[in-house]
Structure formats: C-alpha cells, structure tokens
Structure 1
C-alpha cells in the first residue's frame, strides 16, 4: 500500500487540520516528499506538530519516516511502465466533466445568474483563472450583471438578490474573510454557489448549491498534475458558455 492509498484508507478519521494537509499533499506531492519540514511549515499554514501528528496517524514514527516512504513511492511510480502522462490525465478529466455534467443544473445556474441583481465571481490563486474565463464568457450576455471583485476590495454589503459564484479547489482558507463578512449583522443572504473538485470542501455548508467536478485521482497526483482542477473548472465553463449560446440562439 503506497502513501496515497494509505491516506485514502484513513481519511474518515482525519481531523480538520489533517484533511487540509491531505488536500495539499494531493496537490503538491513532490514538495511534501522532498522539502524539509521547516520549509513546508514556513510556506504553508501548518505547524511542525500538526505535520508530525498527521504522519503518526498513518503509522509512522514521525514526518521524516513518512517522507522517506513517500519518496520511495514516488520514485517507484516514476519508474513504472504504467505511469500515466499528464496529457492523458487532463484528457480524462475533460471527458469526465463533459460526460457527467448535469445539464439541468447548468440551466438552473444560468437562470440564477440572469435573475441576480449582481453576480460576483470569486476565485483566488489558481482558481482566479477559471473565474476570469467565466467573466469573459458572460461579458457577451448583457442580461447578466457579472463582476470579479478584487480580493482586498470585496463588497461591504450583500443583498438577497445578489449571487456569489465561487471557484475553490481545496480548503477554501483564502475565503474565510468573505464568510466572516457574510455573517455581519444586517447582511443579506445572497444566492451562493460553490464550484469545486472537493466533495468534502470545508466551506460547502455555507452554499445554497455545490457543484462537484471530477479531478485527478490520488494516484494520478504522483504524476504531478497541479493544474487538474483548473482543467475541470474550465471545461465546466465551456459547458456553461455553450448552454448560454444555445439559449441566446433560441
């Protein structure tokens, strides 16, 4: 059993912090396998003790032992004749999003966009790319009042007829300020929709609708596919754009 399979088998017992570490390892396996604990903690939001406890939950004496095994697993995977190329992984993700997309959900999403007084499209870090792409697609439709607010200049007040469309792949830690703002006294209750590749996204309970897209599997992550979520988001955007065009033509 490799590290990914081991983590998958233990995920149900993970704490909130463990799950955040798990998601980051999935996204950046090479960094967690090769960077020192000091570097990982300095560049991330995890403490050394949290990383050590995570390794111990998987049966290792500490993070050093976990990391050694992780390096061996990645090396073995790279040497395998069965290694899947990134192109194959990305292609599979695009097909899965296209084949599993619920067109009724997409139609409902578009109707919600059209009904909204203001549509705020939000995405941080890499998720900002699909947010920008969606904004471009919607710019051709004058009946949708869409905008991408700057992360440091989010609206102070939201109304019940506003809509927030958020792209977030993993932990959602960069959106905590928005969640806090929405809990301010006197705030309206905008229609909030989350587009994610994480079915257990920690912020999912704040949203009226959560759309979960396929992404790379844990074993695929050994092939170093940090952009897999972006491919899923952008394929979904293409499906939305296609549906918008169909409705416009009709």
Structure 2
C-alpha cells in the first residue's frame, strides 16, 4: 500500500484536524521519525486519539503500524532520489565530454568527409582499443556504399605503405602514436608520399613531421568519481564524422 496515495484518496473524508496532521507530515516528515504519538500530538496541539483516527483512516491499525510503513516508504523514496542524483552527476561528466568534442572546428569533419568520399580505398589503423574507432567507422559507412578497411594488428599493416595507392587514404587512430608499429607505419606513409590522417590526443612530437593532417581529440575527462577515456572521445568523434558523412552524401546526390 502506498501510504501517501492512500492519504490523498481519503482526503475528502478528513476533518480539519486530519488535514492539519496530513499537512504537517508532508512538510516535516522528521516529526514522525523522532516523536511518539504523545509527542507528535503535543507538537501539533491535537489529541493522541485524533492521530490514532487519522492513521486508521489511512488504512492502518494504529500509529505504530502507520509510522513503520511511512518511514519505510520515505526511506525508499530518498534512496531512489539519491540514485537519480548520482546518475545525473555521471551524465554531467559525459555532457562535459561532448562539450569538449564540440569545440572542434567543423571544417575538420567536412574536410575529412571529402577525403574519405574521394579516396579509392580508406583504411583505418589502430592498436588495441584504438582500433575500435576504425571498426565503428567501417560499420557506420557501410550502408552508404563506402568500404572502410580496418586494420588492428601490426602484422596486417606493417607493409601497408608499400601497397597503398596514391588516391588511397589512411586514417590512424592512436592516443599518443608512440607504439613502434604505428610510428613506423606513419613514417613510411610519409616517405612514400601517401595521404594520411592522425586522430590523436597527446601525440609524440617526433611523429608530427611525418603526418599530412593531425586531428587533435580532447584528452580524457577525469575527476574523482568517473573517467571518460580518450578512446571514448574517439568513438564520439567517429559517430559525429559518420553523421557529417551522411549529410555530405545526401548533398552529393
């Protein structure tokens, strides 16, 4: 039984004294938590028998049963409210993450869409979790007839610069671009004069001279309670890029 709902249902049958008790319990629920029936009656300036009748109108045998159920439901409500507050806090961190991505220049997305559209083959290269953005881009653009080749193992992309063609595009996803496989592949693409893009957060400065185009993704948002890591930032970037590509394709038709 929902005790508050039950009181609302019976409110038309309440006397002026009942309504006084009802209003006090809604505004000051701590009264019933701390006070006995005699103390509550004294505070409200009503008789204990009036409180007893009020409890019975709400569907309970007496004050003790009413108090037990009232406090149980009040605690459940407070716990639910607290959980919602925690969720809202976590969502605020993700909102902050989106705002960080939102600071990127829109031309970054537009220009990269054009490069992907005009390339004969587009390959995405990444190690470990950095391979996930490439996999996602592959899935996102497949419905539009754009095949993306996602390479996530150094054995697969070690000799890549030697086989890619002049009108191909290679997109590297790497937080720092410090891993030997990624570093060497980027360097060789540059030496073979192949088009490449590096999507990164904190790149090794030595690699920057070997990249045609560097897109800086905001680094991870972190506080005491929650971390949204750099790879999550890249996934968001890819989703935004995919939406830009959808719009780009529509305008080409």
Structure 2, gaps ≥5 residues long? 1-88
Structure 1 residue 148 and structure 2 residue 150: aligned?
A: yes
- Structure 1 residue 172, shift from structure 2 partner: 2.6
Structure 1 residue 228 and structure 2 residue 238: aligned?
A: no
2-structure distance, mates of 1:211, 1:164: 13
Bigger drift between 159-168 and 88-97 goes to 88-97
Bigger helix share: 2
Match of 2:84 in 1: none
1-structure distance, mates of 2:193, 2:168: 8
Residue by residue over 1:22-51, the C-alpha shift from the partner in whole angstroms, topping out at 9 and shown as x without a partner, is xxxxxxxxxxxxxxxxxxxxxxxxxxxxxx
Which is higher, the Rg of structure 1 or of structure 2?
A: 2
Structure 1 residue 158 and structure 2 residue 164: aligned?
A: yes
Greater RCO, 1 or 2 (C-alpha within 8 Å, sep 6+) = 1
Would you say the 8 A contact 2:177–2:204 is kept in 1?
no
Match of 1:210 in 2: 214
Match of 2:115 in 1: 112
Match of 2:125 in 1: 122
Match of 1:245 in 2: 246
Match of 1:69 in 2: none
Aligned CA RMSD, in angstroms, stands at: 2.7
Give the TM-score normalised by the residue count of structure 1: 0.55
Residue by residue over 1:182-230, the C-alpha shift from the partner in whole angstroms, topping out at 9 and shown as x without a partner, is 47xxx7422110111126554222111111111235xx366563x5112
1-structure distance, mates of 2:106, 2:144: 19
Q: How does 1:134-213 map to 2 (within 5 A)?
A: 134-142=137-145, 144-151=146-153, 152-154=155-157, 155=160, 156-173=162-179, 174-179=181-186, 181-182=188-189, 188-198=192-202, 201-213=205-217
Residue by residue over 1:83-130, the C-alpha shift from the partner in whole angstroms, topping out at 9 and shown as x without a partner, is xx7654333112220x21222221111111111121110111111111
Structure 1, gaps ≥5 residues long? 1-84
Q: SS of the residue aligned with 1:139? A: helix
**Residues 239, 159 of structure 1: CA spacing in aligned structure 2 closer, same or farther, 3 A cutoff?**
same
2-structure distance, mates of 1:195, 1:249: 25
2-structure distance, mates of 1:190, 1:140: 27
1-structure distance, mates of 2:201, 2:147: 26
Would you say the 8 A contact 1:167–1:196 is kept in 2?
yes
Q: SS of the residue aligned with 1:160? A: coil
Q: Count matched residues.
A: 159
